[in-house]
A and B are shown apart, each in its own frame.
Chain A
């Protein structure tokens, strides 16, 4: 069932460091790859998204790197802050498929 594999399951990063979360997908028909951020007690919220015709997209401290041939994409959070502590989900559409989530803690 899980068509999008996400790692690591949890991540602890020092304040100011770089957080990296990886996802791999199987279905080459997927054509849109969003990342969601979820704080406790809240639903997920769209953070940043990429389409497979570009290899990188940057918005502020958040960057998606996309490797179409390897069917992998990753989220990089630069200068990680305590306020970034949340659970992050990668996703892929058609019929939206989500990764299992990564709990990020920034100390």
Chain B
């Protein structure tokens, strides 16, 4: 079974631009969560989608948004990029919603650099 895939792997943008990241979960997994990883802050939860609906949301500004398609693929969008948005963005998939005890499988991440 193919793992979680994320595209692109690397991105360089400038302040004020917007960016869209893509995540394809493991086949059969219906829940996708997004995380921001920065040195010293660890992984910060952004949001979780299940069956095309946002179920949970972390404490990030409205510039961060996402969506999920009927095939469970998910996209994350960041508008009006700021220097502080430079980070590794990870997505994780689980079979069920909520990700409480169900194992999360992470993709390799998209490294976003904002100049």
Binding site for B on A (CB under 8 A): 1-2, 6, 9, 31-32, 34, 36, 41-46, 49, 51, 89, 91, 93-101
CB distance from B108 to the nearest CB of A (A): 5
Contact of A1 among B4, B44, B103 (CB under 8 A): B44
A-B contact count (CB 8 A): 55
Q: B100 contacts A43, CB within 8 Å? A: no
Considering the complex, give the chain A residue whose CB is closest to the CB of B100.
A93
Can you report 19 A-B residue pairs in the complex whose CB atoms are below 8 A from each other?
A: A32-B100, A32-B101, A34-B103, A43-B4, A43-B90, A43-B107, A44-B43, A49-B101, A89-B43, A95-B45, A95-B56, A96-B99, A96-B104, A97-B45, A99-B42, A100-B41, A100-B42, A101-B42, A101-B43
Apart from A94-B100, A96-B104: 8 A-B pairs, beta carbons within 8 A: A2-B41, A31-B100, A36-B106, A45-B105, A45-B106, A96-B99, A98-B35, A101-B43
Binding site for A on B (CB under 8 A): 4, 33, 35, 40-45, 56, 58-59, 90, 92, 99-101, 103-109
Bound CA–CA A1/B58 (angstroms):
9
Q: A96 contacts B106, CB within 8 Å? A: no
Bound CA–CA A86/B59 (angstroms):
28
Q: A41 contacts B59, CB within 8 Å? A: no
Bound CA–CA A91/B37 (angstroms):
14
Bound CA–CA A46/B99 (angstroms):
13
Interface residues of chain B: helix, strand, loop or mixed (majority): loop
Bound CA–CA A93/B103 (angstroms):
11
Q: B42 contacts A6, CB within 8 Å? A: yes
Residues of A with C-beta under 8 A to B103:
34, 46
Bound CA–CA A41/B106 (angstroms):
12
Residues of B with C-beta under 8 A to A44:
43, 90, 106
Bound CA–CA A36/B42 (angstroms):
12
Bound CA–CA A50/B80 (angstroms):
40
Bound CA–CA A1/B24 (angstroms):
28
CB distance from B88 to the nearest CB of A (A): 9
Q: Which 7 A-B pairs have the closest CB atoms?
A: A43-B106, A100-B42, A98-B43, A93-B100, A98-B42, A101-B42, A32-B101
